[in-house]
Amino acid sequence: MSSLDLIKTKIKTLYETNPQIHVNISISHPKLNLQNDPATITGVYRNVFRIEEYSSGSPKYHTLQYTDIFTKQIEIVELKNDQ
């Protein structure tokens, strides 16, 4: 099992058991910077997953790639604590 498959499995497990997470995101396109903000995993797909976050006060949905976790542009605090 590759590292990417392991990340996908962990996110799918979080989605099924406790989709409430905290994320640190720093990506430039689209510009998105979140630091330990609460979010909810709303969908898990083959190459991407979706989150809903409220940092601006209203709900915003973001589609994120698993590879961004692998390259450390996205960090899910619950996965960090799991290691």
For the chain, the domain total comes to: 1
Please report how many Cα atoms fall inside a 13 Å half-sphere around the Cα of residue 79, on the Cβ side.
Answer: 20
| DSSP label at residue 2 | -
Spatial distance between the Cα atoms of 27 and 55, rounded to a whole number of angstroms = 16
| Whether the Cβ atoms of residue 56 and residue 38 lie closer than 8 Å to each other | no
Q: How far is CA 81 from CA 21, 22, 62, 65, 70, in A?
A: 12, 11, 23, 21, 16
State pTM to two decimals. 0.89
Tell me: the pLDDT tens digits for 11-38?
999 999 999 999 999 998 888 999 999 9
Residue ranges making up the domain that contains 16 = 3-82
> Quick check: 81 pLDDT over 90?
no
Residue 74: which CATH number? 2.30.30.100
| Mean pLDDT, the chain, whole residue set | 92
Confidence of residue 83 (pLDDT cuts 50, 70, 90): low
Give strand pairing partners of 26: 33
